[in-house]
């Protein structure tokens, strides 16, 4: 498997991936991507210890009900691209990810590699509520 994709599951409310799930070996990781998008009711994402290890990217897009993200120890370890992106619906002027209240990162979650020249990138894009505030005042990140 070289892609883990959840797309358009509008009744899905929670994603909970247990420990040691969907890992790959180092030489093939340049092709490994995780994309979760277009799930209208998804409110919680919890990724267990050592899961999705060596994946190149982790992208969350168009998740209007997302409240909480928790990545346990070594989840997405050695990941190089992390994207949390809103997609504005110009017809209704509604923004997704505005409900996001917390991101919890346990030890070495989203840790990049120190022995490579490849950069690690975190993009948090368009996470506002239309009032020119970046995020809600109740938002928190725990590391």
Q: Give the per-residue pLDDT at 134.
A: 45
Output the 3-class SS for 19-78. Answer: CCCCCCCHHHHHHCEEEEECCCCCCEEEECCCCCCCCCEEEEECCCCCCEEEECCCCCCC
Residue 91 has pLDDT above 90, yes or no: no
Is the pLDDT higher at 115 or at 59? Answer: 59
* pLDDT interval class at 97 (50, 70, 90): low
The number of angstroms, rounded, from the C-alpha of 110 to the middle of its chain's C-alpha atoms is 10
CB of 103 within 8 A of CB of 69?
yes
Q: How far is CA 23 from the centre of its chain?
A: 16
Distance CA 61, CA 125 (A): 10
DSSP 115: S
For the segment 57-64, the average pLDDT, to the nearest whole number, is 90
Q: Which pLDDT does position 71 carry in this prediction?
A: 94
Query: Which pLDDT does position 19 carry in this prediction?
Result: 94
Q: What is the DSSP letter of 89?
A: B
| Tens-digit pLDDT profile for residues 12-52 | 999 999 999 988 766 555 668 899 999 999 999 999 999 98
- How many Å apart are CA 122 and CA 138, to the nearest integer? 21
Confidence of residue 102 (pLDDT cuts 50, 70, 90): confident
**Where is pLDDT greater, at 109 or 48?**
48
pLDDT at position 88 is 52
H-helix or E-strand spanning residue 140: strand 140-142
């Amino acid at each position: 498997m070289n892609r883990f994709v959840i797309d358009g599951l509008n009744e899905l409310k929670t994603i909970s991936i247990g420990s040691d799930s969907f890992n790959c070996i180092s030489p093939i990781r340049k092709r490994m991507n995780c994309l979760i998008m277009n799930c209208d009711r998804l409110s919680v994402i919890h990724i267990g210890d050592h899961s999705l290890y060596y994946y190149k990217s982790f992208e969350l897009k168009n998740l209007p009900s997302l409240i909480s993200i928790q990545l346990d120890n070594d989840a997405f370890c050695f990941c190089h691209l992390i994207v949390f992106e809103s997609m504005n619906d110009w017809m209704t002027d509604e923004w997704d990810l505005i409900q996001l209240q917390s991101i919890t990162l346990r030890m070495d979650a989203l840790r990049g590699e120190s022995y490579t020249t490849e950069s690690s990138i975190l993009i948090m894009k368009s996470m506002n509520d239309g009032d020119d505030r970046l995020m809600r005042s109740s938002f928190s990140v725990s590391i």
